[in-house]
Amino acid sequence: MAKLKLRAITDGNDKNGYCGPSVISALTDLTTGEAARLIRKQHGRTTIKWTTKAEVFDALRACNIRVCTWQKPKAYSSLFAWKSYRFKGPTLAAWLKHSKEDRTPGRVFLISAGQHWQLVSGRRYTCGRIRDIVSIKDKRVKRRARVRDVYELQSDNVTKPDIDVSKPKDKYATARSKAKRIAKKIGVEIEVSRIGGSIDYTVYSPEGTEDPFEYESHICYDWNEVLDMVEVYEKLGVGVKITKAMAKSIAKTIDKTGNPDWSSIRDHVDTATAGELDAFKLDMMTEWVVEEYHTVPGHDEAKIDGS
């Protein structure tokens, strides 16, 4: 059984520093990232930078914490009033002063003041801005903030929610790490563009390297595609360099009357390069030679395409 009390706000590697997830973390065993994920799953949110009362209350109820409206003493109720069409509640300092009798050890209060969620239990205080459990007299507590709402939290047993709030595994972690490592080594630039809910990646070839994707799109849609493209640039930079000029020169030596197929052109390229190209570069050079072969007068493009 987990007792309801103020706890240290805990952050995982997916920290959320905003006040809603922070107060949930301070009352449960959830990290701020898990608390934010709970709110997102409950309410279909994509990011958590602010929270409504309903969102915070639903997250607390999922952890078996009841939210009760604080019963204001009659003599104190007049401090919470609408004046000149604008709500002007008491300052946090005034609320702390008038709630001494209610703030007995073990009672926990959730307060909305200055558009900020905060927790008070006895003389202890915490929020997502301070992040530590401190005295209500701590100079970092914004005691002049206007209190809008006060709720008392109750629970016989604080539990973890039934909803899975664990951080999902990043399926692109390995590909992203490898792609960035290779890109840094060979001088490839990767540009990430976020438009709406989608992410595109543009890969720019290293300087001084023949671009095998010159006539193709350099845009990728996940890190696996980025890694494939980056590895092509890496392979082109190892061992014997191949160039478009070399391909054009080889294309001119192919017999115009033979109408060769792709396989025979590959053999011709292998011979012309003295067998020094590995399979990857040999295939790449063959593709370039076929492209150049089409531009040589007398060569039959249809024969190659139909091979």
For the stretch 146-156, pLDDT in tens is: 988 899 999 99
pLDDT at 79: 57
Close Cβ partners of 279 (under 8 Å, ≥ 6 residues apart): none
pTM of structure: 0.60
Q: What percent of the chain has pLDDT over 90?
A: 43
Pairwise pLDDT comparison (152 vs 280), residue with the higher score: 152
Q: Is the pLDDT of residue 242 over 80?
A: no
Least confident of 106-110, 147-151, 279-283: 279-283
pLDDT at 228: 92
Q: How many CB atoms lie within 10 A of CB 9?
A: 25
Q: Is the pLDDT of residue 211 over 60?
A: yes
pLDDT at 1: 44
Domain over 19-154 is classified CATH 3.90.70: yes
pLDDT at 307: 41
Kindly report, residue by residue over 48-77, the tens digit of the pLDDT. 999 999 999 999 999 999 999 887 666 555
Strand 117-121 and strand 198-204: pairing? Answer: unpaired
Kindly report, residue by residue over 155-199, the tens digit of the pLDDT. 999 999 989 888 888 888 999 999 999 999 888 899 999 887 788
- Give, in order, the Cα–Cα distances in Å from 148 to each of 91, 222, 271: 9, 46, 83
pLDDT at 29: 87
Q: What is the 3-state secondary structure (H, E, C) of the chain?
A: CCCCCCCCCCCCCCCCCCHHHHHHHCCCCCCHHHHHHHHHHHHCCCCCCCCCHHHHHHHHHHCCCEEEECCCCHHHHCCCCEECCEECCCEHHHHHHHCCCCCCCCCEEEEEECCCEEEEECCEEEECCCCCCEECCCCCCCCCCEEEEEEEEECCCCCCCCCCCCCCCCCCHHHHHHHHHHHHHHCCEEEEEEECCEEEEEEECCCCCCCCCCCCCCEECCHHHHHHHHHHHHHHCCCCCCCHHHHHHHHCCCCCCCCCCHHHHHHHHHHHCCCCCCHHHHHHHHHHHHHHHHHCCCCCHHHHHCC
Domain ranges of the chain: 19-154, 173-182+189-228, 244-305
Structure tokens belonging to residue 306: 């139909």
Provide the residue type at 280 as one letter.
F
Are 164 and 174 contacting, i.e. CB atoms less than 8 angstroms apart?
no
Q: Is the pLDDT of residue 257 over 70?
A: no
